[in-house]
Amino acid sequence: MLRGLYTAASGMISRQIQSENLSNNVSNINTPGYKKQKVVLKSFEELLIQNKDKYIGEKCFKRNLGTMELGVGIDDTVVDFSQGVLEKTDRDLDFAIDGKGFFTLVDDNGNIKYTRDGRFILDKEGYLKNIFGYKVLGNDGRPIRINSKEINVNDINFLITDFDDKSQLKKDMNNMFLAQSQGRVVNSNIKQGYLEKSNVDTIEVITEMISIMRSFESNQKVIQVLDETLGKTVNDIGSIK
């Protein structure tokens, strides 16, 4: 019975974490280039239940009763890198990648990061930057500097980097990714005056949230029933009359 409490509790904890992850996805539904995250669950190893009450003479014999699951836990949080819808903005400094890869960025300390968020600005020196101050790199490996007042995507050679193993990309709080290994340069279609929308699907989120809440409530009811049963066991069966 106590194992049942642990199993139900682990289910509630896992569903709570899933719910928090969905809430984070929803909060970024309007963030350009945002990639939704998914929580991956894993089941704990099953235990073999045995009965050792059978004795013949002084020898004890085991009898297998079956297996018992101990609930689920969090295995990992993975990012879904599927492309979002490209939305027209008509802003000259908005760019979207139609295909594979990421814009390559660098900060003043030489730290490289990657993003699908193409909301760029020009600083006083004419350098193209993202909204967090990272400079955008060109395919020559240097920050892009624009001297003309008229900005044309055909005059800008973005350094677009892709990775065969995207699981090694780590997302930060500013919708950028840090790579643990070097990527490869790819050619992708860059559309000016467009932004890639978040790949969060509203209907999918609502459906998943309902499923998570129902599972959470089911585990909650199991705990309530087991708690009541344990209470009766302690107060009634165990009492001396």
Spatial contact of 192 and 28, defined as CB atoms under 8 Å apart: no
For residue 42, the model assigns a pLDDT of: 67
For residue 79, how many C-alpha atoms fall within 13 Å in the half-sphere facing its CB? 17
Which residue in 85, 105, 34 sits closest to 191, CA to CA?
85
- Angle, alpha carbons 134-140-144 (nearest 5°): 40
For residue 70, the model assigns a pLDDT of: 60
At which residue do the structure tokens 């719910």 appear? 19
The Cα 42–Cα 71 span in angstroms is: 9
For residue 64, the model assigns a pLDDT of: 65
What sign for the dihedral angle of Cα 132, 102, 136, 193? Answer: negative
For residue 225, the model assigns a pLDDT of: 76
For residue 224, the model assigns a pLDDT of: 75
| pTM, to two decimals | 0.76
For residue 160, the model assigns a pLDDT of: 98
The Cα 188–Cα 211 span in angstroms is: 38
For residue 177, the model assigns a pLDDT of: 97
- What are the backbone dihedrals phi and psi of residue 134, each rounded to the nearest 5 degrees, phi first? -80, 135
Query: Which residues touch 231 (CB under 8 Å, ≥6 apart)?
Result: none
For residue 24, the model assigns a pLDDT of: 93
For residue 116, the model assigns a pLDDT of: 97
Q: What is the pLDDT along the chain (241 residues), one digit of tens a residue?
A: 456 666 777 777 888 888 999 999 999 999 999 999 998 876 655 555 555 666 566 666 666 656 555 666 677 789 999 999 999 999 999 999 999 999 999 999 999 999 999 999 999 999 999 999 999 999 999 999 998 888 999 889 999 999 999 999 999 989 999 999 989 999 999 999 999 999 999 999 999 889 888 877 877 777 777 667 766 666 666 555 5
Spatial contact of 164 and 105, defined as CB atoms under 8 Å apart: no
Q: Is 38 exposed, middle or buried (0-12, 13-18, 19+ CB in 10 A)?
A: middle
